[in-house]
Amino acid sequence: MINVLFVCLGNICRSPMAEAMFRELVKREGLEHEVHVDSAGTGDWHVGSQPHEGTRNILIKYNIDAEGLRARQIRESDLHDFQYIVGMDASNVQNIEKLIKGKSSAHIVRLLDYVDERQEKNIPDPYFTGNFEETYELVKIGCTNLLKEVRRNHNI
Ligand code: 4NP
């Protein structure tokens, strides 16, 4: 199994959107028995909550299954359990690296590292900007390219 974890700050806006979108793409490509998807936040404020209304509305609008999304905090075991740990911005990656201290062999990246044509690699936080459409567009292109990379890396 290839395990992919999306990480943001609160796990209610960006990373659950990426989780739902990536799972949808994986399902469309018939890879659900090969790729497992999850998300987590580096903070603990929203543990147990469903996604932010803005994320829920976007997922409904684009017909992406949001069933079962509940916020959780990243934990040390994630660093061993997931081969891809995908942050939404540089501060997420810094927080993940603080937790790791060299103890993980995972690919620790930002989602937009997979989008060559875009210079700005941080996904703005819609919790503060209110712009969930922008998040959707960035998450969509990032997830599309990430899945291509995963397929290439693992020959699936
Ligand atoms: P997210 O957005 O990291 O994309 O889930 C945020 C959600 C909540 C908070 C910050 C960012 N917060 O400060 O509660």
13 is catalytic: no
Return d(Cα 29, Cα 148) in angstroms, integer.
Answer: 11
Structure tokens at 151: 């397929």
Identify the band that residue 81 occupies on the pLDDT scale cut at 50, 70 and 90.
very high
Determine the distance separating the centroid of ligand 1 and the alpha carbon of 46, expressed in angstroms.
8
pLDDT at 100: 82
pLDDT in tens, 29-43: 999 999 999 999 999
Q: Count Cβ neighbours within 10 Å for each residue of 37-73 and write b for 16 or more, e otherwise.
A: bbbbbbbeebeebebbebbbebbeeeebebeebebbe
Spatial CB neighbours of 103, under 8 Å, sequence gap ≥ 6: 76, 79, 80
pTM of the model: 0.98
Q: At 103, is the pLDDT very low, low, confident or very high (cuts 50, 70, 90)? A: confident
Cα–ligand 1 centroid distance for 143 (angstroms): 20
Q: What is the mean pLDDT of residues 7-14?
A: 98
**Predicted local distance difference test score (pLDDT) of residue 126:** 98
Catalytic residue among 8, 13, 56, 89: 8
125-144 pLDDT per residue, tens: 999 999 999 999 999 999 99
- Nearest ligand 1 atom to alpha carbon 14: 4
Residue 155 has pLDDT above 80, yes or no: yes
Q: Choose the catalytic residue: 38, 78, 89, 125.
A: 125
Write the residue with the smallest CA distance to atom 3 of ligand 1.
Answer: 9
Q: In what order do the strands lie in the sheet with 35-41?
A: 35-41, 2-8, 84-87, 107-110
Residue 7 CA to residue 72 CA, distance in Å, equals 10
65 is catalytic: no
Q: Show the ligand 1 pocket: residues with CB < 6 angstroms.
A: 8-14, 45, 125, 127
Whole-number Å distance between alpha carbons of 52 and 63:
17
Mean pLDDT along residues 57-75: 97
Ligand 1 atom index nearest CA of 71: 5
Mean pLDDT computed over 95-105: 86
Q: What separation in Å is there between the alpha carbon of 127 and the centre of ligand 1?
A: 6
